[in-house]
Amino acid sequence: MHSQSSALLHESLFKEGESNPNRPALRFKAEHCSYGELAQKVMRVSELLQQFESGTRIGVLLPNCPESVVTAYASFASGNIFVPINPLLRPRQILHILNDSGATVLVTARYLLDSFTSTRELPGEITTVVLIDDPDPGTNLPRGVKLHSWSDFLQGRRETRSATDKIPKTSDPAVLLYTSGSTGLAKGILISHQNLIDGAEIVSGYLGNTRDDRILAALPVSFDYGFSQVTTSLLSGAELVLTNFSLPQQLISEIVQNRVTGLAGVPTMWQQLMDCNWPAGCDAHLRYITNSGGRLSRDTLARLRSRLGKTRVFLMYGLTEAFRSSYLDPDLIDERPDSIGKALPGVQLHVINEQGELCEPGEPGELVHSGKLVTLGYWNNPTASANRFRPPPSSCGLDTAETPSVWTGDIVTLDNDGFLYFSERADQLLKCSGYRVSPSEIEQAILESGLADEVVAVGLPDERRGHRVAIALVASNPNEDNDFAIRHVCARELPPYMQPEEILVVETLPVTPNGKPDREAIRSMFRTNDNAS
């Protein structure tokens, strides 16, 4: 087993706050915060969170903002669990996460609270709601739920735990991150303090992050890749610049105005940025960019490098269950532009065929990640955990009792020099604009509307986004305007990246010999339809 680090992330932040209190730590719009100020805010909120039992889930439904960062680190320091929730989600997904996690505290903004409490009540476990803006006097919450503004919360009475209360250890859970699986609604993945420490140290190491860096966090902190920008920046003593990516040209302006040195993105984001005007000289300060969440096409990669000649490009691969698995040395991009590189330090990656044997070079097989960064498993889902988090086969030559492993569900190949190449997903999971999307979640939302008797969602290849969603269905009422009705339901119930772009109404859906939907045949129906048009 790998050695365990003793410095938790919040402890590293507190030490930086003591030794370099005036160093810039956080920037958000016109707001600036030093390491000393950030450490004090985290300490203050952590003291207030100590009134809750250790291990309490602290839900945070916010866009990227300082309050998200403060609450995350305060949760760590108080021995509680940070549960970030993407504000792009619809009420059904938000309520699922709150219910499934059993969150007791919810930190959010008034407009977000209103979006899902107007017609539905809060989950019964919620006892405290903290709004980062002032509550509306007319805000109605279930009886017994305490409502605070962020400023009032900070002025509240400090709580002190008894000496018998648990102090967080590296093996304790720190984050409960929800991500779509191949079936059903999103599953929670428990991430330990050690996972966070290892991830921040390893990624900061190969990126070469230092106190001189200014890292722009444009991806949602509810996304493991987005939250990594927070942890790697603050662990390195760098300055973290928070933003919420919407307009690509605006993002480029922020890169230039803030003289950003590091930026992470997903393929869709890079595609959008390539259609914008990049001022000359960006590469003089933009030291590196990183890509994960899907394969970057050769064309996009070439265009990026032509505009940012001095900027190093890190092509990476990871999954929420193990955060980050591999990266390609930027010096090897010309030689291997399609590769996802080699294993990170402390990580062992093996390609396993259906017989449980190591694959030969060029033979496709499932990627198995062992060693560092493997998370604690799925929250309250032992069956799913046992299926995904299981020992590697003996052919890997590892001590299966001592080496945590996760079977990724991704099909890859290995070349003669040990470099990995992504091929496809072994399950039905889609990758849309960097998000993992469960077809069954889309199907369930449509079936619950009563508009379809049968529905199958598939992903069609899309160079910009990875997959675009297409659905084939048997309509409950063929005489209705089903295209309009289905799009209306999906817009109401599903976040933007799950919206179907193509809808095909059929009399019957093709099935496999065992009676299951024939997804490949359904994908062919869309290709045939495209050719006919």
Query: What CATH number is attached to the domain comprising 41?
Result: 3.40.50.12780
- Which of 425, 459, 474 marks a domain boundary? 425
User: H or E segment at 220?
Assistant: none
Last residue within a domain, chosen from 192, 209, 233: 192
pLDDT at 193: 97
Question: Looking at the domain assignment, is residue 206 inside a domain?
Answer: no
Domain boundary (425, 447, 477) is at 425
* Number of domains comprising the chain: 3
420 & 435 share domain: no
Q: Which residue range forms the structural domain that includes residue 411?
A: 346-425
6 within domain boundaries? no
Same domain, 445 and 367: no
Per-residue pLDDT band for 166 (boundaries 50, 70, 90) equals: low
Q: At what angle do helices 9-19 and 193-207 cross, to 10 degrees?
A: 60
Tell me, yes or no, whether 352 and 466 share the same domain.
no
Same domain for 40 and 139, yes or no, is: yes
Distance CA 190, CA 172 (A): 9
Report which DSSP code applies to 157: P
What CATH number should be reported for the domain holding residue 514? 3.30.300.30
Cα→Cα distances 171→167, 198, 321, 388, Å:
11, 12, 16, 20
Specify whether 131 is located in the same domain as 50: yes
Statement to judge: residues 412 and 482 lie in one domain: no
Residue 332 lies in a domain: no
User: pTM for the whole thing?
Assistant: 0.85
- Say yes or no: 59 and 116 in one domain: yes
For residue 406, give the CATH number of its domain: 2.30.38.10
Both 187 and 48 in a single domain?
Answer: yes
Between 1-5, 463-467, 471-475, the lowest mean confidence (pLDDT) is in 1-5
Q: Are residues 62 and 186 in the same domain?
A: yes
Query: Cα separation of 252 and 268, whole Å?
Result: 15
Q: How confident is the model at residue 4 (pLDDT cuts 50, 70, 90)?
A: very low
3-state helix, strand, coil in the chain (%, to 5): 30, 25, 40
Decide if 9 is inside a domain. Answer: no
> Is residue 371 a part of any domain in this protein?
yes
- Please write the tens of the pLDDT for every residue from 468-524: 999 999 998 887 788 999 999 999 999 999 999 999 999 888 876 555 678 889 999
User: What distance in Å separates the CA atoms of residue 74 and residue 428, rounded to the nearest whole number?
Assistant: 37
Same domain, residue pair 163 and 75: yes
Cβ(452)–Cβ(483) below 8 Å: no
